[in-house]
Structure 1
Amino acid sequence: MIPALAITQTAGYGVLYYAFSVFLTPMSVSLRTGVAQLTAAMTLAVLISGLVAPLVGRWLDRRGGRGLMTAGSVIGTLAVLAWSRVENLPQFYAVCVALGVASAMVLYEAAFAVIVAWFSPARRSGALLAVTVVAGFASSIFLPLTGFLVASYGWRQALVLLAVGYGVVSVPLHAFAVRSRTSPRLSPRVGPALRERPFWLLAAAFLSQTGAVAVMGVLLVTYLIALGHSPVFAASVAGLLGVLSVTGRVLTTGLQTRWPIALITAAVFTLQATAAVLLPLVGSSVPGAVVSVVLFGLGFGVATIARPALLASRYGTAAYASISGALALPITVAKALAPLAAAAVAQVAGYPAVMAAVALSCVLGALALVVYERSAVGEPADPPAPAS
């Protein structure tokens, strides 16, 4: 199941998320519309995935992932095929709604719920790491692949090829390799968990850091160019983020044997805050830019494996997907809206102000995890009881 999920997560993120950036320019020319309007459509897809996440979580807790992820793969395939036929913005916005629904059903949140439900705590960290290490290379694989397909066949035919490839790979793997519950379960009660202080500390920590990561992912290249670097250098250095995210995940998983994951993650968030402070100060030099990006990049993917580990250790597995889905909603909203807010701040106050906000967000996330570790982990709550 783990190799299957590693493959489907790589293909899913590559086709349903990362490939979009390659289609921006040819679509804007073909549809005679602005890049900003197309980008807003993908922002809608991200928001839809967050809105659907609580419903997906409840389904996963009751019935497992096989049927849901298989259906999500079919929806994703059909949505990308429909994308290849769009002729105007309203049609593309409708496609993005479908892409958002499919993403909630097949990407990390759903895959992690399956892993948490089926693996013991001793094997869970290794399983999460294996999936995220492989999927961490999705952008490295699919950005150049999509660029080649667009250059060779045009953007519409490229989407058809990506859709067919995704469907051929993901539908059978989800249908035959993903474990599912043998019988339906009653939905567990998650209300008590969502009302307690530790949940909101985790929400504050990951919401703050996710917003910071989203801002850096979108604006880093532009800021490096504004600091005086060439576009080629800026893009190359920013490309380190994907590789470094894998490195950070491996280090975090290894350190869990010695220290609590909440404190490890807090330390990584603090490194990211330091990087955001350094970038305006030393980023105009090549070594300064590289050091700043490396420090920030080490935490680029740490939250991805820290969040499921913390939720599972605190609340158990009975209601993991429901609680994770509830937590995913505000985090996804932050991921979608933070870059837009940061771009507005950059226009008014400049990029140093944006970096200060990024640093503050990372510090707040680190502090929330330290408080969580001191107040919650020592006395874990009982898993939410099933509904009567």
Structure 2
Amino acid sequence: MTRHSGPPVPADVGVGGHPPSPPGNRVLVAALAITQTIGYGALYYCFAVFLTPIAADLTTSVTAVTGAYTASVLASAVLAVPIGRWLDRRGGRALMTGGSLLGTLLLVSLSRVDELWQLYVVQIGIGVASAASLYEAAFAVIIAWHRPRHRSAALLALTVVAGFASTIFLPLAGWLADQHGWRTALLILAAVHAVTVPLHAVVVRRPPGISRDPGRQHGDSGAHALRAALTDRGFWLLAAGFTAHTAAISAYTVLLIAALIGWGHPPAFAAAIAGLLGVLSVTGRLVTTGLQRRYRTTTITAVVFAVQAAAALLLPILGDTTGGAIVAVVAFGFGFGVATIAKPVILAERYDTRRYATLAGVLVVPMTLVKAGSPLGAAVLRTATGSYTPVLVAVAVCCGVAAVALAASSRPALSATGDTSADAPVTGPTD
């Protein structure tokens, strides 16, 4: 007996969509762009700068300190679904404000750790703060406050600005650590991060459709929409695709510089080439958003992932030459940030946005787990084979799986009754 899944649930079914975007939405997007840039810079990227001095001060290994970061990532994965439910029921103001405040306090605490166990406790707390205040929460707020035709532009603006977090905060953290030591540097970064608290408290508002009584929020229709999405084959194809792509990106990011050096390139060249990934990610997001006016987001994303698969296979073949390395890395880097903007757009196009944050949380759990584990897997494979080629082949396979899964998810599914009414493009309501 052939099993058919029901058709995707169009965004905002039964609630008439969101009201026209008020002028204040530009302020909302601008404020979130600032808070995400600061949040990612202070809570996420700066840890790499302080890794070695923290290990030296605590008289422990870099590996042990890195484990604290892994614990932080895993903590955010555990909370992804509960936080998604909170966002769907109550909106983002209290959650993001509390997460920002917690993150600020924990940066201060991090500057005072003297034992390895204290580092782990603080980093787990930072994982909690990140889950409550960074991208997934911000995306949920953006989706709730924008009608379909405005969402892509709002998400693009947010991610383009926040995409420069590493460009700003890595050199800033390095300079602060050189001038004042890592502990004082963390206190200064905590003061900078404190700016996000009032921004979230003042600018993030209760979105349309969110009741002031969470117990009555959404009712049976919202629960039905959630069940319909979770029984849709396409949803799980999206989960498989984005998870495979996250594994590829995480492994590629960790091994790229070492691989280029191993093939005979100077360290400065390897670092410069790796630095292109951030700029290319912004370019990829801009192009993807422009193409969304003519093509399905799933189709665009699948093509980008396929290009990345080819680029990963080309790198061990061409990577020992300067021109070949640049071409292969640029081709891969073009899709570096596409998944970040594609995932919220696809979910909002395909499913009822009243349950957007919960569904996004379900996707985030496996993505976060592979983000934490794939660099270790890549290192083990490299050690076992003595070559970066098998690792890059694995990266290409993951990108290929992601491309196939995204392409398959865009195909309309038949209902149990054989209804083919889903053959039309799946979009949310128009203005």
Q: 1:375 aligns with which of 412, 428, 431?
A: 412
243-252 or 373-382: bigger deviation:
373-382
Q: 1:225 aligns with which of 255, 261, 276?
A: 261
217-226 or 140-149: bigger deviation:
217-226
Aligned residue in 2 for 1:205: 241
Q: Output the CA distance in 2 between the equivalents of 1:120 and 1:86.
A: 46
User: How many pairs were matched up?
Assistant: 382
Q: Output the CA distance in 1 between the equivalents of 2:310 and 2:36.
A: 31
1:160 equivalenced with 2:150 (yes/no) = no
Letter in 1 for 2:238: L
Q: Output the CA distance in 2 between the equivalents of 1:382 and 1:304.
A: 19
Q: Output the CA distance in 2 between the equivalents of 1:191 and 1:25.
A: 47
- Which structure 2 residues correspond to residues 10-21 of structure 1 after superposition, within 5 A? 10-21=37-48
Aligned residue in 1 for 2:328: 292
* SS of alignment partner, residue 162 of structure 1: helix
Q: Offset at 1:30?
A: 0.8
8 Å Cα contact 2:349/2:427 also seen in 1: no
Q: Offset at 1:215?
A: 0.7
Aligned residue in 1 for 2:397: 360
- Over the residues paired in the alignment, what is the CA RMSD in angstroms? 1.4
Q: Output the CA distance in 2 between the equivalents of 1:368 and 1:18.
A: 30
Q: Offset at 1:363?
A: 0.4
Structure with greater Cα Rg: 2
* SS of alignment partner, residue 318 of structure 1: helix
- Which structure 2 residues correspond to residues 123-272 of structure 1 after superposition, within 5 A? 123-167=150-194, 169-180=195-206, 181=210, 183-185=212-214, 186=217, 188-189=222-223, 190-272=226-308
In structure 2, runs of 5+ residues without a counterpart are 1-27, 414-421
8 Å Cα contact 1:314/1:380 also seen in 2: no
Aligned residue in 1 for 2:340: 304
* SS of alignment partner, residue 411 of structure 2: helix
Q: Offset at 1:219?
A: 1.2
Structure 1 residues 382 and 235, CA gap change in structure 2 (3 angstroms): closer
Please list the CA deviations of residues 276-312 of structure 1 after superposition, one character each: whole Å capped at 9, or x if unmatched.
0000000000001111110110111000010001101
Aligned residue in 1 for 2:73: 46
Structure 1 residues 199 and 265, CA gap change in structure 2 (3 angstroms): same
8 Å Cα contact 2:349/2:426 also seen in 1: no
Q: Output the CA distance in 1 between the equivalents of 2:37 and 2:335.
A: 20
Q: Output the CA distance in 2 between the equivalents of 1:241 and 1:78.
A: 31
Q: Output the CA distance in 2 between the equivalents of 1:193 and 1:239.
A: 38
Higher RCO (Cα < 8 Å, 6 or more apart): 2
User: Percent same amino acid among aligned pairs?
Assistant: 54
Aligned residue in 1 for 2:53: 26
Tell me the TM-score normalised to structure 2 length. 0.87
Q: Offset at 1:191?
A: 3.3
Q: Offset at 1:381?
A: 8.5
Q: Output the CA distance in 2 between the equivalents of 1:55 and 1:379.
A: 33
Q: 2:148 aligns with which of 121, 139, 151?
A: 121
Letter in 2 for 1:178: V
In structure 1, runs of 5+ residues without a counterpart are 384-388
Aligned residue in 2 for 1:386: none
Q: Output the CA distance in 2 between the equivalents of 1:297 and 1:382.
A: 29
* SS of alignment partner, residue 264 of structure 2: coil
Letter in 2 for 1:365: A
Q: Offset at 1:267?
A: 0.7
8 Å Cα contact 1:202/1:369 also seen in 2: yes
Q: Offset at 1:184?
A: 3.4
Please list the CA deviations of residues 91-131 of structure 1 after superposition, one character each: whole Å capped at 9, or x if unmatched.
00000110100010011100000000110001110000000
Please list the CA deviations of residues 64-89 of structure 1 after superposition, one character each: whole Å capped at 9, or x if unmatched.
00110000001101111110000111
- Which structure 2 residues correspond to residues 343-358 of structure 1 after superposition, within 5 A? 343-349=379-385, 350-358=387-395
* SS of alignment partner, residue 48 of structure 2: helix
Letter in 1 for 2:102: I
Q: Offset at 1:47?
A: 1.1
Q: Output the CA distance in 2 between the equivalents of 1:220 and 1:378.
A: 42
Q: Output the CA distance in 1 between the equivalents of 2:397 and 2:55.
A: 36
Q: Output the CA distance in 2 between the equivalents of 1:209 and 1:294.
A: 17
* SS of alignment partner, residue 353 of structure 2: coil
Tell me the TM-score normalised to structure 1 length. 0.96
Q: 1:61 aligns with which of 82, 88, 93?
A: 88
1:94 equivalenced with 2:121 (yes/no) = yes
Letter in 2 for 1:218: V
8 Å Cα contact 1:247/1:298 also seen in 2: yes
Q: Offset at 1:319?
A: 0.4
Structure 1 residues 348 and 63, CA gap change in structure 2 (3 angstroms): same
Q: Output the CA distance in 2 between the equivalents of 1:223 and 1:79.
A: 35
8 Å Cα contact 1:13/1:138 also seen in 2: yes
Letter in 1 for 2:293: T
* SS of alignment partner, residue 370 of structure 2: helix
Q: Offset at 1:46?
A: 0.8
